[in-house]
Structure 1
């Protein structure tokens, strides 16, 4: 339940309703439901339906297709965080004998394992999983389509392998592990592997006539980790908050940030479109903002979760048709409409709760050669390094507790920053991945690589 302070303005709510109404009408969807999340709470839900007097709400289940992959990725990241596996491990180390074991776990998560997009015929989304009882039935005789690790090629069988990996290491069915480790801790009680009333029925809409055909709803068996789940707008709204903020009962904020970080080489068309793929999450630049989430489709259903971490906004859109409204566009538009109509109000500035004098003395301008940068210490970003003005390399740093810092993002992600001190304790320079930052451009009193001309700076003679 939202408070009056959290509710959207009436004009914003009408704009959102207009957007989904247009999508449902023009996309000819039997029904469509959408939810917007702001500051960690659902603040708006709307729906449209072709059945007079009967509209779905945020508690009606729809099938969410490949959004299931994000749930599977969370289970794999949990195993990594527990030290059970490393993302650089080849699959063969933990799940031998698949015939696809040379791909690493990270490559499978990012769809760079070189595997086929689909399992062998017949089409797995519209046939029972009992036709593919073993992993060999999912992979076929020739599982690879590309060299391992060379390109992003979306692979449903790849996530089947990740689900089997979870089962092997947890010694329990994927569905059981998912319920115990993710659904129950996050209180996603209306997310399940099989439909639970109330739920929408899946429909195909004739492309040239306003008539319907019911779609079969198959149990996907081995392919379940790639697309089995049913969920609701409300549950997915809460899942979106988790993907933005983390939850230590499931995955830390740092680990979900890793999921949101590009991990796959993009194709030329993807670069042009501003899209990428992380670890179980799709990433795109749209309308000047970075959006993460995932889309999903199975015969009879379309689904999308879109998150703008910077705006602290998310949108969920669900429809029960095989093709029709571009729900990923609708979700992105819902985020944009709220962000533009009701910009996020910044939190009040607050000083740091405590001060480390040895860190404070590092704050201020430094020079890498002749380039001026500033090391800043703030309550919201911690330690950060970036140009004094304009464009250039920017990174935030995490304190390691031993007088060093590790880069979190940007060019210096993973690189070590340390202050090099003289025998008297004063700071000589900063060392960052072999780069020397000095108090003055080419400070002759610091060990500048290549040395400094003894005649110093000069004009033209």
Structure 2
């Protein structure tokens, strides 16, 4: 059996270095560091700096801004998985007295609660959190901009509320819960609430001259769950591996997969961007990326993951504006995925198969539409049209012998095998649709019946 080295080809490494060098130079960033992970291993890292012999590495902290929100979302999902709350619960059930308690936890997680984007003045990212000691100081007077559930509207105060929810249910500070439940188990020892050396300083670069201004690094107080954290590319790639595969010490693979699924209504015409539960989901260059971007005065951050390619890129820089960091990280993923495509695992037959289940595979007809039912490698079923882009879905078995749709048009719908009195299969029932072994099979329970004359040609 041939093995493939995790090491990237020299040509791929040069392409990655070229991309971040252009980003740092054209974006006039004081420094920029990036790293790429493939199949769970860091396979490349690189950096650029305006100071000779002083470039950052994968152990240098930068502020990650709104990437913090993904950590907060994980903490909320943990509470859900422990049965301490439900995502459809109104906030008021667990955190009373906010004035916006009618919005659900799900809406807060995916930014569809209709809350304002920012805290009231002064600009919360450049002022001490002590100016906003209470949740009312974070929410302000105009708490609701839109009807809950109807549109995506990014809200930093919404994640402040989620952080407060975590504190209320756990009975401990958000930062302590974060440390104990995520950072320690994942070995993220270089991710912290406050900067720890070595760390970058935050800068603003003048838009019309090559001069810089230091930015303040404020403690955000109650707003911390929306954007406080400092981290490194090394730690972010550890976190990304968890978001890709799950970790039963923290969240199962099923729960992190739920985080990656679009959950908020998209804006008309913005079909390339959506938001899950604490994760941004984008379509770029024909692939789906999930992760998050972040910014605070003096810093920009991006983390993008492609599960299909099993490639992740993290990019950090210490400038308020300049390089389009999200685009840089996406380009790093694309470079590796296209230059060195993922080699698929060998095909292997199923260890065992139920003969009755095997007998269900093959063509099925919804009216005159031809569909094919297949067994999947995980023991599920997949129904797809034989031609075209019609309705299809994957299905998982239920204990009662039925199957539940996992995706597509039939997500959440029930698939039943309807049998005759002698045990033979009459038809499949899928959300009231009847699928038969022959087009409009006269022996099956086709709604409306089948014309006794059967199929015929054109009579002249």
1:381–1:152 CA distance, 2 compared to 1 (3 A): farther
Q: 401-410 or 281-290: which moved more?
A: 401-410
Aligned runs of 1:366-381 on 2, under 5 Å?
A: 366-379=364-377
Moved over 2 A (4+): none
Q: Which residue of 1 aligns with 2:394?
A: 396
Cα deviation, residue 382, structure 1: 3.5
Report the counterpart of residue 341 of structure 2 in structure 1. 343
Contact 1:72/1:163 (8 A) holds in 2: yes
Residue 216 of structure 1: how far off its partner (Å) = 0.4
Alignment of 1:59 onto 2:59: yes
Q: Match of 1:330?
A: 328
Instruction: Please identify, of 220-229 and 362-371, the stretch whose mean Cα deviation from structure 2 is larger.
Output: 362-371
5+ residue gaps, structure 2, are none
Using the alignment, how far apart are the partners of 2:448 and 2:181 within structure 1?
55
Any unmatched runs of 5+ in structure 1?
none
Q: Which whole-Å deviations, capped at 9, do the CAs of 1:59-102 have from their partners, x for residues lacking one?
A: 11110000000111111111111111111111111111100111
What pairs up with 1:105-124 in 2 under 5 angstroms? 105-124=105-124
Q: State the match for 2:210 in structure 1.
A: 210
1:309 aligns with 2:307: yes
* Aligned counterparts, 1:274-285, within 5 A: 274-285=272-283
**1:235-269 deviation line (CA, Å, top 9, x unaligned):** 11111111111111111111111111111111124
Q: Distance in 2 between matches of 1:259 and 1:433?
A: 26
Which is worse superposed, 423-432 or 297-306? 423-432
Q: Residue 180 of structure 1 aligns with which residue?
A: 180
For residue 136 of structure 1, what is the aligned residue in structure 2?
Answer: 136
- Per the alignment, do residues 44 and 90 of structure 1 end up closer, same or farther by CA in structure 2, a change over 3 Å counting? same
1:365 equivalent in alignment to 2:363: yes
CA distance in 2, matches of 1:13, 1:381: 39
The alignment's TM-score, normalised by the length of structure 1, stands at 0.97
TM superposition shift of 1:407:
1.4
Aligned residue for 2:270, secondary structure, equals helix
Quote the Cα distance in structure 2 between the aligned partners of 1:4 and 1:457: 56
1:453 CA displacement: 1.6
> How far is 1:380 from its partner?
5.4
Post-superposition Cα deviations, 1:179-205, rounded to whole Å, max 9, x if no partner, equal 111111111111111111111111111
User: Following the alignment from structure 1 to structure 2, what is the Cα–Cα distance between the partners of residues 405 and 354?
Assistant: 19
Query: In the alignment, what sits opposite 1:252?
Result: 252
**Partner residue in 2 for 1:225:** 225
Q: Decide whether the 8 Å contact of 1:62 with 1:318 is kept in 2.
A: yes
Deviations 1:397-425 (A, max 9, x none): 12223322211111111111121122222
1:226-245 equivalences in 2 (<5 Å)? 226-245=226-245
| Alpha-carbon distance, 1:38 to partner | 0.8
What corresponds to 1:22 in structure 2?
A: 22
Q: Which residue of 1 aligns with 2:262?
A: 262
In 2, Cα distance between equivalents of 1:287 and 1:204:
31
Cα distance in 2 between the residues matched to 1:94 and 1:449: 48
Map residues 153-192 of structure 1 onto 2, 5 A cutoff.
Answer: 153-192=153-192
- Residue in 1 aligned with 2:426? 428
Q: Distance in 2 between matches of 1:200 and 1:230?
A: 10
RMSD: 1.2
- 1:394 CA drift (Å): 2.4
Offset at 1:381? 7.5
Secondary structure of 1:268's aligned partner: coil
How far is the alpha carbon of 1:390 from its aligned partner?
A: 2.6
Question: What SS does structure 2 have at the residue aligned with 1:257?
Answer: helix
Q: Is 1:101 paired with 2:96?
A: no
SS of structure 2 residue aligned to 1:337: helix
Which moved further from structure 2: 326-335 or 360-369?
360-369
2:301, 2:393 → 1: CA distance? 35
1:112 to 1:236, Cα distance in 2 relative to 1, 3 A: same
TM-score, length-normalised on structure 2?
Answer: 0.97
Of residues 444, 452, 455, the one that matches 1:454 is: 452
Which of 411, 414, 423 pairs up with 1:413?
411
Q: CA 1:348/1:4 → structure 2, altered by over 3 Å: closer, same or farther?
A: closer
Contact 1:381–1:396 at 8 Å: present in 2 too? no
Structure 1 residues 222 and 33, CA gap change in structure 2 (3 angstroms): same
Greater mean deviation of Cα atoms: 398-407 or 237-246: 398-407
- Distance of 1:102 and 1:63 partners within structure 2: 33
